[in-house]
Amino acid sequence: MCRKVVAEQEHVADTPLQGIGKEPPPSDVVREASISEILTGSAKEAVLRVQEYSYLAAQSVANIFSRPHYVQDTLDQMDSIGVGSLPIVLLTGFFIGAVMVLQTASQFVRFGQTSLTGDAVALALVRELGPTLTSLLVTGRCASGIASELGSMLVTEQVDAMRAMGTDPSRKLVTPRVVATVLVVPLLTTMSDFIGLVGGCVAAVFSLRLGVVQFWTRAIDALEFSDIMQGLMKSIVFAFILSTVGCYKGLTVRGGTQGVGRSTTQAVVISSVMIIVADTFLTKLALYMADKLF
Amino acid sequence: MNTPQKSEATIAFRDVRLGFDEGDIVHELSFEVYPRETLVLLGETGTGKTLSLKMAAGLMRPQEGEVNVLGHRVSEMSEKELLAFRREIGFVFQEGALFDSMTVEENVAYRLREEHVPEEEIEPKVREALRFVELEHAIDMVPSELSGGMRRRVSIARALITRPPIVLYDSPTAGLDPVTSQTIITLILRLRDTYGVTALLATHRLQDGFALANFYFDAASNRVLPNREKAAEKSEADSNTRFVVFRDGKVFFEGSTEEMAAVKDSYLKRFLV
């Protein structure tokens, strides 16, 4: 449980890194670290990581307001993240919409109110499932891709080469990915919402024998401006989270190719957890704002 | 210590210390490189050669001491100032560090495009740089199609495209076969003797250093010749290459080719074998 710490600074140079031609350090220069030291060290490390992440995230936004801009890189990323994710987002959205109809209808049928299915599905999709599921799908596909791509560039010294040639990696690599993700995820969410309603409609028509016009009328009438704003606001925040976490984990890879794999996994796990945690607070905020503003 | 040049040093390290959690990697590190000189950094793995190059380029910041390059105090510059400063430096990374999603042409032209040089000026410059490293035919290839030696040559072409006054080489022959290593050293000689660049070369192969010290590139015959054929200028040619040997993160030995060849120290003799 305890790890060794070096007691005297002057003995640090005797570690294996510096040990050419030297005897190993005598055993009395190391001692067991106390639990409080371990906890303090871990806490400091965690705070440092949060600080580094916050700095990178802030830098990625600040870069937008000064030159140089990498427009072509941003467009390339939009193509890769947006167009590339479209099939899985649409396919998943369709079946989520259908499943939602089947699940809600099984409850509404008890009260003889299956016509309310359109309302429930529209609200659930636009407010919650559309942005959250789309972001989680993009996280699985793109946060991992960003982390592995940047991580590989880091371990093969391409990031250093970029800096050595006078290019700021946060401008060239991070900002285009963050901007592209923040622009395309709301678009993907909108398409996912629509195709989800189409899936819901298909399920409602064939399973509940509801009319197409009836389903769409109720679904559209149930939605208010605040619901759409809530969904879009969430998708923007989730996109920012998944892209910045992907970039951060990629640019802080340690330990070669094995480290790239580890960072890729961490990028997906951390982004997913952060998205779901942020969702709770954003929902509360959105409901509060809807009450006050709309 | 053999420093015949009296001019101001192009690169100067003074009492530099840099360490990580494991301890200091380099400490009390001091050396100087003078204009048009090649300083060969010799040392075993982990003695701080690559870190020294990265500190010279401002890619890493020392925790103590000063690093001065081309009159800039690199160790105290902001990242923004460093980005501009690094355009005066060519850096050849150990494995080439080519951008693997770009073609050879895009890699070599990278700096020019970053500086918004007109497209019509870029192609002739890229071709010239690739011709210099004898890889003009590979202009449309991607790095994954190149051999290890070809990647280093493209990396050299990329470093020289803006004709920087300083080039930093990080183990340019590491992992290459003897013939390819010789090709790379010949290119470094050509770069030195054609453009007169100041160079810092990290290596663990003494023969690289001796080749740089004992040969020169003759532009007239387009050949690499021994310095003895250039008898009148021999002393000058020799003085353009010096050796610094790292041990335990410090300068253990600093001297000329003759001094290096004549050493009796057992640690230094390891490099002579």
**Separation in Å, CA A276 to CA A58, A123, A190:** 21, 18, 19
For B153-180, the pLDDT digits (tens) are: 999 999 999 999 999 999 898 888 888 8
Selected residue with higher pLDDT from A250 and B221: A250
Q: Which of the two residues, B33 and B8, has the higher pLDDT score?
A: B33
How does pLDDT run across B77-120, given as a tens digit for each residue?
A: 988 889 888 888 999 998 889 999 999 999 999 999 998 999 99
The ipTM assigned to this model is 0.87
> Looking only at Cα atoms, what is the longest distance across chain B?
57
Under the banding of pLDDT at 50, 70 and 90, the label for residue A13 is very low
| Length, in residues, of chain A | 294
* pTM for the structure as a whole: 0.85
Q: Which of A14, A153, A166 has its CB closest to that of B86?
A: A166
As a whole number, mean pLDDT of residues B61-90 equals: 90
Residue A249 makes CB contacts below 8 A (sequence gap 6+) with A143, A147, A151, A263, A264, A266, A267, A270
In a domain, B1, yes or no: no
CA distance A99 to A66: 46
List the one residue out of A216, A230, A227, A225 whose CA is nearest residue A119.
A216
Smallest Cβ–Cβ distance between B23 and the set A13, A153, A158 belongs to A13
Output the CA angle A54-A57-A63, nearest 5 degrees: 135
Q: Are A231 and A287 contacting, i.e. CB atoms less than 8 angstroms apart?
A: no
B59–A15 CB contact, under 8 Å: no
- B10-39 burial, b at 16+ Cβ within 10 Å, e below that, comes to bbbbbebebbeeebbbbbebebbbbbbbbb
Q: B97, A160: Cβ pair inside 8 Å?
A: yes
**Minimal CA separation from A158 to chain B, in Å:** 5
Per-residue pLDDT at B122 exceeds 50: yes
Distance CA B150, CA B234 (A): 32
Residue B237 clears pLDDT 70, i.e. is over it: no
A15 touches chain B (CB under 8 A): yes
pLDDT at position B1 over 50: no
- pLDDT tens across A37-83, in order? 889 989 999 999 999 999 999 999 999 998 889 999 999 999 999 99
The string of pLDDT tens digits covering residues A186-230 is 999 999 999 999 999 999 999 888 888 989 998 899 998 889 999
The secondary structure of residue A240, as a DSSP letter, is H
Q: How many Å apart are CA A250 and CA B20, to the nearest integer?
A: 21
Cβ-contact B110, B102 below 8 angstroms = yes
A161·B54 Cβ contact <8 A: no
Give the pLDDT score at B233.
52
Q: Give every CB contact of residue B207 below 8 A, 6+ residues apart in sequence.
A: none
Instruction: State how far the alpha carbon of A102 is from the alpha carbons of A105, A122, B56, in Å.
Output: 5, 13, 66
Q: In one letter, which amino acid is A177?
A: R
Tell whether B19 is covered by a domain. Answer: yes
C-alpha–C-alpha distance, residues A64 and A70, integer Å:
10
The CATH code of the domain that includes B165 is 3.40.50.300
**Nearest C-alpha of chain B: how many angstroms from A70?**
10
pLDDT(A26) > 60:
no
What's the rounded mean pLDDT across residues B217-238? 66
Is the minimum CB–CB distance between B130 and chain A shorter than 8 Å? no
Is the pLDDT reported for residue B5 higher than 60? no
Identify the closest residue of chain B to A19 by CA–CA distance: B248
Query: Is residue B19 within 8 angstroms of chain A, CB to CB?
Result: yes
| A252 against B256, higher pLDDT | A252
- Chain A residues in contact with B94 by the CB 8 A cut-off are 157
Number of domains, chain B: 1
- Other CB atoms within a 10 A radius of the CB of residue B101 amount to 14
Residue of chain A whose alpha carbon sits nearest to that of B60 = A160
In a domain, B50, yes or no: yes
CA distance B206 to B216: 17
- Tell me, what's the pLDDT at A9? 34
In a domain, B37, yes or no: yes
Provide, as residue numbers in chain B, all residues whose Cβ is less than 8 Å from the Cβ of A21: 247-248, 267
Nearest to B91 by CA among A159, A169, A10, A43: A159
> Cα distance from A264 to chain B (closest Cα, Å)?
19
What residues in B contact A162, CB-CB < 8 Å?
Answer: 99
Shortest distance between the Cα of A139 and any Cα of chain B, in A, equals 22
Name the more confident of A11 and B101.
B101
A140 is written with which tokens?
Answer: 């699985």
pLDDT digits (tens, 9 = 90+) for B174-192: 888 888 888 888 888 888 8
Q: pLDDT-based confidence at B230, cuts 50/70/90?
A: low
CA distance A167 to chain B (A): 6
pLDDT-derived band of residue B229, with 50, 70 and 90 as boundaries?
Answer: low
Query: Which structural domain range is residue B194 located in?
Result: 11-272
Q: Which of B46, B91, B95 is opposite residue A164, by nearest beta carbon?
A: B91
In a domain, B3, yes or no: no
In angstroms, the CA B91 to CA B167 distance is 6
Q: A interface mutation test: which of B18, B83, B142, B162 has the most A CBs within 10 A?
A: B83
**Tokens for B201?**
């070369």
B22/A12 touch (CB, cutoff 8 Å), yes or no: yes
d(CA A136, CA A178) in angstroms, rounded, equals 16
Per-residue tokens: B57: 């380029």
Strand arrangement, sheet containing B241-247:
B89-92, B166-170, B198-203, B38-42, B241-247, B250-255
- Out of A40-44, A69-73, A111-115, A248-252, least confident range: A111-115
Q: Which residues of B touch A161 (CB under 8 A)?
A: 91, 93, 97-99
A161 touches chain B (CB under 8 A): yes
CB contact under 8 A, A12 and B23: yes
Residue B174 belongs to some domain of the structure: yes
Kindly report the average pLDDT of chain B as a whole number: 85
Q: Is residue B74 part of a domain?
A: yes
- Bridge partner list, B166: B89, B198
Cis, bond preceding A176 (omega within 30 deg of 0) = no
Q: What CA–CA distances, in Å, run from A230 to A120, A129, A281?
A: 16, 12, 12
**CB within 8 Å: B23 and A15:** yes
Could you tell me what percent of chain A has a pLDDT over 90? 66
Residue B205 backbone dihedrals phi, psi, to 5 degrees? -110, 110
pLDDT digits (tens, 9 = 90+) for A73-108: 999 999 999 999 999 999 999 999 999 999 988 888
State how far residue A216 is from chain B, nearest Cα, in angstroms: 47
CB-CB: which of B44, B86, B99 is closest to A164? B86
What residues pair up with B199 in beta bridges, in sequence order?
A: B38, B167
How many angstroms separate the CA atoms of B213 and B257, rounded? 7
Residue to substitute from B63, B77, B86, B106, interface A, most A β-carbons within 10 A: B86
List Cα–Cα distances, A260 to A146, A256, A277, B20, B50, in angstroms.
11, 6, 25, 21, 22
Kindly determine whether residue A166 and residue B46, on different chains, have CB atoms separated by under 8 Å: no
Residue B6 lies in a domain: no
B142: how many CB neighbours lie within 10 A of its CB?
Answer: 16
| Cβ A216 vs Cβ A204: under 8 Å | no
Tallying the residues shown for chain B, one arrives at 273
Q: Quick one: how far is CA A159 from the chain centroid?
A: 23
Q: How far is CA B163 from CA A60, B128, B158, in A?
A: 32, 12, 10
Q: A126 and A223 in contact (C-beta within 8 Å)?
A: yes
Using the Cβ of B83 and the Cβ atoms of chain A, whether some distance falls under 8 Å is answered with: yes
> Which of A3, A4, A18, A76 is the best substitution to test chain B (most B C-beta atoms within 10 A)?
A18
Taking residues A8-20, what's their average pLDDT? Answer: 35
Angle in degrees, 0-180, between the axes of helices A175-203 and A84-111, rounded to the nearest 10: 40
pLDDT digits (tens, 9 = 90+) for B261-271: 787 787 777 77
Cβ–Cβ below 8 Å for A161 and B93 = yes
| Residue B250 pLDDT class (50, 70, 90 cuts) | confident
pLDDT per residue as tens digits for the range A116-152: 888 888 999 999 999 999 999 999 999 999 999 999 9
